[in-house]
Structure 1
Amino acid sequence: MPQTLHRWIRALIIALVGTASATPALPASTLATDAVRDALATTNPAQNPTQQAAQNRAAAVAAAQSTPSTTVALTPVRGKTAIARSTAYNSVPGQTDATPFITATGTRTRPGVIALSRDLLRTFPYGTRVTIEDLSGKYSNILKNRVFIVEDTMAARKSNSVDIWMPTRSEALNWGARQIRITAVR
């Protein structure tokens, strides 16, 4: 092999070893090693096409194994909790923007939808399924075994707050303001 290819491989190995602590460990397999070695090897023009296809498949399998799944990074941590102030809202223009029945994610408001302040959205992103526990104990039987989904955002001035959508104004007023514990379930 040419000297520049040796330097490139050495630099690649050093770069990979240097970032090994930040990346998850790969399974102990020689498949990835063999695929990389075969891909870097100079190909013989007279090589059998079936051998070349097998090498391409092995390289693709190795690349798929070493590439982390993007959905894992978006999945919130199960059991993550936060204690926040909770209020309730319903779909009237005075409590929302110009589109009162549409959430920030583009879905329609319905029972089980909650809005979070922007600081809590970092911990519980859109689509997170959560349970809510009323810390006063007054509404614990209503909230028990109920799963809510984060689909809306509160005003920018709000912090550490959860807004629960309710179908009527009287239900929202009865809820009032209280301390709750929000826990991610999926």
Structure 2
Amino acid sequence: MKKIVIALALIIFSFIAWDSKVSAEEIVVHKGETLWDIAQTENTTVENLIELNNLTSTVIYPEQVLLTEGIKNSHIVEVEKGDTLWKIGQEYSVSVENLKHWNQLDHDLISIGQKLTIDGPNIDAASVETNANEVSANTNTEEDTAIQEVETPVTIEEEQAEQPADTTVKDESIAGHTISVTSTAYTVQSAGGSGITATGIDLNANPNIKLIAVDPNVIPLGTEVYVEGYGHAIAGDTGGAIKGNKIDVYVPTNQEAFNWGVRTVNVTIK
């Protein structure tokens, strides 16, 4: 009976905490915005925006009207001890940039007890029920373990020894897939182009953006990544010499490109 009550309480609480709504709205493109910027803000993809608006390329213009639609969920979380924007973003499968945008933050610092709003299409009623079932299953396991401690203590020690291994696997799946690559750096000037990337991002209008050029066969375009020594970035460009496990990190100045040089780094693909 206790297990049923716990499961039902979790389901009810989750439905109250999440505010889901179907939205279809028009937005106006502002100067300097790209499809990637809009996709990040609206929790969608560049491909979805292109298909929804019958676009033939990733080039958009100021004052252009675009249609966005999809299911958005709003959730309020309270910051607990040890929480960071990165940790919360990983838990809810959203980026740090989106968390800062939704909560009007201009820095990465958060405090215990602070309320944060999370918008995203990642949680729905089905997943709430799944989580409730998992909690119920865990409750069963705990009760079964308590009984076994009296009857077969040796078996319990063996099962508990195996549990950390399961936890490690879950942590790795959340962190993403990490690969080792050879990296160089480039600027708009060194690339000799217009500053418009393969995904339509204007580097001249966004000089401080974190972006890397990749081989799409290794890291798909539009993927969020974490580059050792560089930070969170978007795979938003390609290059003729970028083949296999090699990337080019974008930096705004030639001095920064010179300082980066050529180095081997780990890239975590989210």
Give the TM-score band, short-chain normalised: 0.3 to 0.5
Larger CA Rg, structure 1 vs 2: 1
Indicate the structure whose relative CO is greater, using CA pairs within 8 Å and at least 6 residues apart: 1
TM-score by length of 1: 0.46
TM-score by length of 2: 0.32
